[in-house]
Amino acid sequence: MPANAPPSCLLFLHIPKTAGSSMRSILELNYRKNEWFLAREMWKGNPNFYALPEEKRNQLRLVMGHQGFGLHTAIGERSFEYFTLLRDPVDRIMSLYYHILRNREHPLYAEFQREKYTLADVLHKQLSPAYDNCQVRMLAGAMDVPYGGITEAHYIAAIKNLEHYIPLAGLQNRFDEFVLLLADRYQWKRPYYRRFKVGGNRIAKSALDAETTALIRAHNAWDERLLAYVTVRFEKQVAAQGPDFPARVKRYAKRNRLFEKFVNALPWVKKPHD
């Protein structure tokens, strides 16, 4: 799906626990340090991004990080596109829960450890909007909506943003296909990545009890609907690449494994499971 020319600014809308570390490793290979910016603290409105001088924001070629839809309004009158990755809500919520349990720097870590929360506890207590239709919430730019407040109107807004501003939205479980679509569209010369395990060990999805699984789905019904929509769209985009695309994906995966093996062997490179 090649484009005539890449946009002046690309925004990676990184939904938590959707292979963002691997995607970032690709982006850092294809953009110089002075061309990109990592947006932080999305629940506070990404203050570090808006603190940049206007001139600097207007020169960025890439904004990545956890961000709700809308940061494009602060990059000047330039062409832009977003891209993002989605994930099955049950998988994503489980990954987020175990990530917080093991990440001492997370704001909720101390509370999780002190109270010994189960995943069901976290949902019942509505501790964070990251557990409540976060994918629709972010694509709609509805970051300030209270827990439980995501509605069909937000889902429709997310779809409209997808169709107008997000030409490529991928699926975490089909990462390599998505990377090739991105590389074609944005003319990336080095679309290679490392796999990062940042969530720690966790039980298998199949081992999660039925009650908790149902609770996750109830809290993320709009996300499940969005995932179904994006899956259909993504499959059409992949099919449009023609019958040779699966073989191309296999060749790419083989090259990426060699790249990953080489980089991980370098003594000064941080190991992917650190």
| Per-residue confidence (pLDDT) for residue 195, from 0 to 100 | 87
Cα–Cα distance measured from residue 259 to residue 183, given in angstroms and rounded to the nearest whole number: 16
Of 73-77, 189-193, 234-238, 264-268, minimum mean pLDDT range: 264-268
CB burial class (10 A; 0-12, 13-18, 19+) of residue 142?
A: buried
pLDDT exceeds 80 at position 204: no
Contact between 150 and 143 (Cβ < 8 Å): no
Q: What integer is the mean pLDDT of 58-72?
A: 97
208-229 burial: b if 16+ Cβ within 10 Å, else e:
beeebbebbeebbebbbbbbeb
Would you state the pLDDT for residue 200? Answer: 52
Q: What 8-state DSSP symbol labels residue 105?
A: T
Kindly state the average pLDDT of the residues 99-123.
93
pLDDT for the residue 264: 86
Q: Does 271 score more than 70 pLDDT? A: no
> Structure tokens of 189?
């010369």
Residue 185 pLDDT exceeds 70: yes
- Which pLDDT score is estimated for 268? 78
Confidence class for position 82, pLDDT limits 50, 70, 90: very high
Number of other CB atoms surrounding residue 117 within 10 Å: 19
Q: How confident is the model at residue 274 (pLDDT cuts 50, 70, 90)?
A: very low
Phi/psi of residue 6, each to 5°?
-65, 155
Say whether 211 sits in a helix, a strand or coil.
helix
Q: What are phi and psi of 14, to 5 degrees?
A: -90, 100
Which residues are 54's β-sheet partners?
Answer: none
pLDDT at 273 exceeding the cut of 80:
no
pLDDT of residue 196: 78
Q: What mean pLDDT is predicted for residues 213-227?
A: 97
Which residues, at least 6 apart from 111, have a Cβ–Cβ distance to it below 8 Å? 117, 127
Dihedral sign of CA atoms 228, 148, 155, 241 in order: negative
- Residue 60: is its pLDDT beyond 50? yes
What pLDDT, in 10s, does the model give residues 5-45? 889 999 999 999 999 999 999 999 999 999 999 999 999 99
Average pLDDT over all residues of the chain: 93
* Range 71-87 average pLDDT: 97
Contact (CB, 8 A) for 83 and 230: no
What 8-state DSSP symbol labels residue 169?
Answer: E
Residues 6+ away with beta carbon under 8 Å from 178: 85, 168, 170, 171, 234
Check whether 225 has a pLDDT greater than 50.
Answer: yes
> What's the confidence (pLDDT) of residue 91?
95
